[in-house]
Structure 1
Amino acid sequence: MDRLDDLRLFTLVAEGRSFTKAAEKLGLSKSAASRRIGELEARLGARLFNRTTRHISLTQVGEGFHARVSQALEALEEAERSVASQHAAPRGTLKLAAPVSFGVDHLSGAIADFMRLYPEVAVDMDLSDRFVDLVDEGYDLAVRIGRLRDSSLVARRLCPARAVICASPEYLARRGTPQEPADIQSHDCLIYTNVQNPEQWSFRAAPGAEETRGQRITGRLRANNGDALREAASQGQGLVLLPTFIVGDALASGRLVPVLDAWLPPPLAVHAVYPANRHLSPKVRAFVDFLAGRFGPVPYWDAALTVLKGG
């Protein structure tokens, strides 16, 4: 046995309070294990264990030594797992949480393509607009949109989440096109309720300004789902503020028309978040890399709008 094996033997004895059990795990005799610990103590010049005929316990020096040795061995094992995981094929079940609209419209197709690339991965996707606790509820990762709460989670930006205020051409012809934020006070607004302040939209203080301010809105239709509000807007029911990943197709087809673009704050972002484990599994690493490559800095729903504008 080398010195590293001696340290492993020491931790097994310390944690099991038994030379016999530690020796069995390493394929040694009890006498050989006891001798090796004695040699370790002699080399260190300190007694690590209190021994009686019935009990074994760590000395005060042994307790401090055990704490440091355990950390060192754990770091070594983690380093080995990290290298091995980079070459391991993704496999197993990936448990994922995502918002409903983004999940249906964009993640579903992405997951189908991902599973074709990695046939040993199964996906369990939970679509809900509620905030899930990844650790307590056992999720591998979640897709989240907007400002992230302070947490111990690791976050990787996947793409921008650009918002737009829009309405149908028929509505704008009937009610007029707002030219500045104050104009929306005379308009019917479709209110998305799954946010902290549903009756308020944020605007720049002036086009291009950093400062933002809130503008109160009113309307007869409230809903906690963006797809439902998009369809209502397409039917001429009012102005709606939604991300382009929900209204992109309607904007591209002309069913909806953007207004007040210059007054809107900078885009937020879509993130993949996952627990800050020291060891990231190959399935999570592969999926996050796949999503970042698929959506990218200019997601396809925005790229199509740029082409239509001639940008």
Structure 2
Amino acid sequence: MDQIQAMRVFSRVVETGSFTRAADSLALPKGTVTKQIQALEARVRVKLLNRTTRRVTVTPDGAAYYERASRLLTDLDDLDASMTNAQANPSGRLRIDVGSSVATLLLIPAIEGFQERYPDIQLDMGVSDRIVDLIADNVDCVIRVGEITDQSLVARRIGHLPFVNVAAPAYIRRHGTPMHPHDLEKSHRVVNHFSGNTRRMYPLEFNKDGEHIEPNAPYRLAVNESNSHTVAVLAGLGASQMVTFVAQPYLDAGELVQILPDWTREPLPIYVVYPPNRHLSAKVRAFVDWTAELFSQHPQLQRS
């Protein structure tokens, strides 16, 4: 038995809570994962996991073993990195997760520059507005919008997302121009956006001279993905608030019209986030620094 490999497999089972998910994340057959755990338990002569047909739980001995094994594996990875040229030439497979608009409008158009700078990094980019679990999904880092509530993660702020109030010209022709946020509750409709994880509706927010309004505006369509939200607003299905860097090309082309210009929404912070046990990874550090540099060059993503 390769004890180090067995420890890595055991750690992934604990982190994902499943033999199947651990096997998928490690690109191993499920049978191999099972045999590795059995061999490890035989070696240490204690039961590390309780297994039923529905779930996997960690025994008290298994929890203690996992805590020390995780530290050891992290130290081994750091040692390997320090004894090679990995810091100077980052390499390997990097798994990231990014929201739809950020991916399609910011990252992917610029990614060739990253590849030229770091030709030995293979990038796996998950694109969705769903918030992933970095540990369970075995993701190296993510770009997230909004405050980070999980204190176990490392977060670096790389910018802010300002918003603009918009509607399509076709919508204005049919429903007129709202003159106050409360008008949206009366003779107007909006396109709403809701969380793909919690299904909670994101409210519209308007601020002016210390006044804060969240109108309860009627809607006929709500979506959980930012590109679909943009298409719906362009189709004239309702007024809404859009991230400025997304809306600006359509405003410049006359496909969208700014409404309620005196009312603003507080910009949301953007973070690049990664697990603390990967903070010394050369490939993660390379992507974090490159992303921060990319966002710093975009005037609509930085506070004045």
TM-score between both structures, scaled by the size of structure 1? 0.64
1:202 matched residue in structure 2: 205
1:189 lines up with 2:190 in the alignment: yes
* Equivalent residue runs for 1:130-149 within 5 Å: 130-149=130-149
Specify the alignment match of 1:65 in structure 2: none
Structure (1 or 2) with the greater helix fraction: 1
Q: Check 1:230–1:279 CA distance in 2 against 1; reply closer, same or farther (3 A cut).
A: closer
Q: Structure 2 vs 1, CA of residues 150 and 228 (structure 1 numbering), >3 Å: closer, same or farther?
A: same
1: CA distance, partners of 2:82 / 2:244: 38
Cα distance change on mapping 1:208 and 1:287 into 2, 3 Å: farther
Summarize deviations over 1:123-142 as a string: whole Å, max 9, x none: 01111222211122211100
Q: How do 1:58-69 and structure 2 match up within 5 A?
A: none
Alpha-carbon separation, structure 2, partners of 1:113 and 1:220? 41
In structure 1, the partner of 2:288 is 288
The residue type paired with residue 205 of structure 2 is: S
C-alpha change, 1:174 and 1:221, in structure 2 (3 Å) is same
Q: Distance in 2 between matches of 1:197 and 1:114?
A: 35
Confirm or deny: 8 A CA contact 1:184 1:217 kept in the other structure: yes
1:20-35 maps to which residues of 2 (within 5 A)? none
- Write the distance in 1 (CA, Å) between the matches of 2:253 and 2:212: 31
Q: Deviations over 1:55-88 (max 9, x none)?
A: xxxxxxxxxxxxxxxx9xx99x969967987942
> Which entry has the higher C-alpha Rg, 1 or 2?
1
Q: Give 1:216 deviation, angstroms.
A: 0.7
Tell me, in whole angstroms, the C-alpha distance in 2 between the residues paired with 1:201 and 1:240. Answer: 8
Tell me the matched-pair count. Answer: 227
2:215 alignment counterpart:
215
Letter of the aligned partner of 1:232 in structure 2? A
Deviating more after overlay: 180-189 vs 245-254: 245-254
Once the two structures are superposed, what CA deviation does each residue of 1:181-234 show, in whole Å capped at 9, x if it has no partner?
Answer: 111112121111227642732222xx142x634211112122222222322322
For residues 1-311 of structure 1, the aligned pairs below 5 Å read: 87-185=87-185, 186-194=187-195, 197-198=200-201, 200-204=203-207, 207-209=208-210, 212-277=212-277, 279-296=279-296, 299=298
CA spacing shift, 1:276–1:262, aligned 2, 3 Å: farther
Is the 8 Å Cα contact of residues 162 and 265 (structure 2) preserved in structure 1? no
Unaligned runs of 5+ in 1: 1-70, 304-310
Rounded Cα–Cα distance in structure 1 between residues aligned with 2:252 and 2:266:
21
Secondary structure, aligned partner of 2:204:
strand
Amino acid at match of 1:299: H
Q: Which runs of 5+ in 2 are unaligned?
A: 1-70
Aligned-residue sequence identity (percent) comes to 34
Q: Residue 130 of structure 2 aligns to a residue in which SS? A: coil
Amino acid at match of 1:202: E
